[in-house]
Amino acid sequence: MTEKNKIYYSFLAYILNITNKINIEFQSEKPRVHALISSIKAYFKTILQNFVKEDSYEIHIGAKALLILNKASLNTQEVNELRCFCKSYYVELCGQILRRIDFNDKSLYSLHENMFPNLKHFVGSLLSFPHSSATAERKFSEVNLIKDKKEMHYCMPLFTLS
């Protein structure tokens, strides 16, 4: 594997870690609508800070990728290609986030956890219902197997006459 590829993969490992955290926010098993916008906004800010800087051309690519880059023997053109790739990745990632979340929507900021306490309990109760009857049917099958084994045990003769 070339030094350039190691840097690319290290950068992707760094940024995909952040991207996965954003996805986890959307896939939470607990209702987190009240905290979703502030959490996503914080991740979005982190991503922006990695490549949007007024006084510098530097792009943050992650500590491991930077360490490999400093040790690598890349020429200026290769470093610029790497920088361009990382920046275009950041720009695309930010564009994808902005397509999915409207940070200007004021209604998203007004959501609070305790705004609708009865609704919270209702949804919690609703989510406690099984989405299918497979679990209940499985338990009935287990009980029937136990019952059948006991009946077979009682039906077996305890001794035999010879």
Query: What value, to the nearest 5°, has the Cα angle with vertex 50 and ends 8 and 70?
Result: 50
Give the span between the Cα atoms of 109 and 116, in whole angstroms: 15
Give the span between the Cα atoms of 162 and 42, in whole angstroms: 84
**What are the residue boundaries of the structural domains of the chain, listed by start?**
3-133
Q: Is the pTM higher than 0.75?
A: no
Average of per-residue pLDDT across 91-102: 92
pLDDT one-digit tens code per residue, 28-42: 777 777 678 888 999
* Structure token pair of residue 157: 């003769």
